[in-house]
Structure 1
């Protein structure tokens, strides 16, 4: 696999493979950051795989009877103990409620707004943001003017009817994270640490970057060839720590960055912990005898929750054939496969598990990959075949 990642200019990578009851294989290669090798404990921002943890936090509250999936989010937000939006409605369909279930299945009209714009500028170098910033930002983004100073009715909301169109939405999951705050009165990162991550044995993972020991933090990278950066380039985030000469070829290291919009993509983790996360789902919400989510709720999360005719019209970047609560299946997946990819500036991750064969795998890369040069699919196939003896 090292030859595969080297060919795609991935600087550092780690992988882990699990069965329902143990880690079967773990390895790492390359460079985590200048002067440090990549290890299976090297931790970085895993991007959208974070959504599966956010969904689990919400589902825990549902299982406890503190929240209903069919609740209008406005009924929850009005009772919030933490500052944030008090009501969220599409300006194009103001009488149609957005429900908690809509958030977890990408059935909202919530978009990330204009580019460049407020969403991109939440990415900053330096220390972790104040935990209250999530609620404040969502208030300003989702609350009509004059109270919401970055509200844009045309660009922050698609014209689709809530519940009737599948639109992959980061903002939807950020709002789901705030729903956790609204119900519990605890900041999102603190709740997830105590009720999801630590009970799952993910002791090296956190939504608060500054809780990750510095010597375990990998750095995000990008590859430049003859002055052209390849990969998923979003230049308005402006996080490159140095100017790049036009004739530069090589890896450029991003300055460490964070964002207040953690529920959709801000978890810091590594392949060891993410493999445990796969084990938990292979165990129907239980790992090493500890239940994080009731089995019936975990089973519901891994069941198609969006009608096929809606998914067929989805404008998501991937060919969805089944949408559960955050987890999904893509065209070509064997029966029993559930997955979620993640990427952010300088990172590329993947978690996939097969409930039929009882195996799962996690991949963590500290370099952006281009859509047409992504090694993760081939790597997962190799890992799954080896784990199942194929």
Structure 2
């Protein structure tokens, strides 16, 4: 038996015991042996807190939390909401695939048929397939008032990671359904997948258990994370943010002195989900019923490609899906073995969280990932 097989068996043996603890309503779970050094890695990297979950091939989930939701003040628990950051993109992608399955969206019809977003002829040829596979040529984010949304190269010809592209994908969902993209995601993904804690934000007067963002030294970023969300929420209408229309999202950004551009708007469908690691593990189990996610579509480099919603790494007969997420003071990762179904999710509330999640992924899968060398 090779090392990978023995590691997989070790992980699987941890799942059963911990899944029972979580199902019984426990608010904490013992970190499995394969992640026994998680708190040590966090301490070395000055990362206050982490939420983790592991999924085995049968769909059993183990999960837990380590450290603090707010440094040296509020302990993290498995119920603490962390910012998903760009892990939000994959959740929207699954909602789109569900709409494709029903014939509501055609992956190869220009988005401009439904959404007026550019005056540039080449940019108007962008399709949902381009957006899902990060081959649209759109920038990651614009931040200057009046800056046009324009493709940097002919859509479909190469890879360029784009948050703007996923916000545009959310606008397509809204144009087709007449609902907000957040409502559509809730109906088609969050509730069916059992992501009962996950949300695009909480109402005024409520204070859920949430993780604060922290800088590289472990200090609280007092204007980011939940405080930053509350500031953006309070600049808009009193109804829940997941019901805000495009016009309301734009007005709230302007009220804060920002241009009416996606990077400043709430909820941001490319990066605005709040979730727990166990909820996200449920999502990963649910997402695998949409094989289009794993259709290699855009060449990245070496062993790396992008599917229609998540990154892919193929090497030595093994195939992995993955995505990372980074906001100010937040760093997250998931990796799924597309053959065995083994998966890990690590959500952290520190700028240096990448050092923690990379170590966790290497340990669980007993391998190096080319994706980590590629990430900037």
Tell me the alpha carbon deviations over residues 291-328 of structure 1, each in whole angstroms, 9 at most, x when there is no partner.
xxxxxxx112212012x4xx34xxxxxx7711111211
Alpha-carbon spacing, 1:112–1:357, altered in 2? closer, same or farther (3 Å): closer
Cα displacement (A) at 1:209? 4.1
Given the alignment of the two structures, is residue 53 of structure 1 paired with residue 91 of structure 2, yes or no? yes
Q: Which residue of 1 aligns with 2:269?
A: 263
The TM-score with structure 2 as length reference comes to 0.71
**Aligned residue number for residue 125 of structure 1:** none
Normalization by structure 1: what TM-score?
0.68
CA deviations 1:38-95 (Å, max 9, x no partner) are: 1111102111111101111111111101110001111122xxxxxxxx243546x36x
2:68 aligned with 1:31: yes
Instruction: Say if 1:20 and 1:279, in contact at 8 Å, map to a contact too.
Output: no
Does the residue aligned with 2:167 lie in a helix, a strand or coil? helix
Name the SS for the 1:221 alignment partner: coil
Query: Structure 1 residue 342 and structure 2 residue 328: aligned?
Result: no
1:280, distance to aligned residue in structure 2 (A): 1.9
Which residue of the partner structure matches residue 166 of structure 1? Answer: 159
2:156 pairs with 1:184:
no
Contact 2:56 2:341 in 1 (8 A): yes
How far 1:224 sits from its partner (Å)? 3.8
Q: Distance in 2 between matches of 1:278 and 1:88?
A: 34
Tell me: CA distance 1:241–1:320, structure 2 relative to 1, closer, same or farther (3 Å): farther
**In 2 relative to 1, CA 356–12 (structure 1 residues): closer, same or farther, beyond 3 Å?**
same
Q: Paired residue for 2:286?
A: 280
- SS where residue 29 of structure 1 aligns? strand
Say whether the 8 Å CA contact 2:94–2:189 is kept in structure 1: yes
Query: 2-side partners of 1:220 and 1:73: how far apart?
Result: 35
**Closer/same/farther in 2, CA of residues 162 and 90 from structure 1, 3 Å limit:** farther
CA contact (8 A) 1:219 1:256 kept: no
Q: Give the number of aligned pairs.
A: 295
Answer whether contact 2:97 2:292 (CA < 8 A) is retained. Answer: no
Which of residues 96, 111, 115 is equivalent to 2:139? Answer: 111
Q: 2:171, 2:285 → 1: CA distance?
A: 27
Partner of 1:232 in structure 2? none
Matched residue, 1:73: 111
Structure 2 residue ranges without an equivalent (≥5): 1-37, 233-264, 368-376
Give RMSD over aligned pairs.
2.9
In the other structure, the counterpart of 1:134 is none
Unaligned runs of 5+ in 1: 78-85, 119-149, 230-238, 243-251, 286-297, 313-318
Correspondence 1:155-234 to 2 at 5 A = 156-210=149-203, 214-224=207-217
Aligned to 2:118: 88
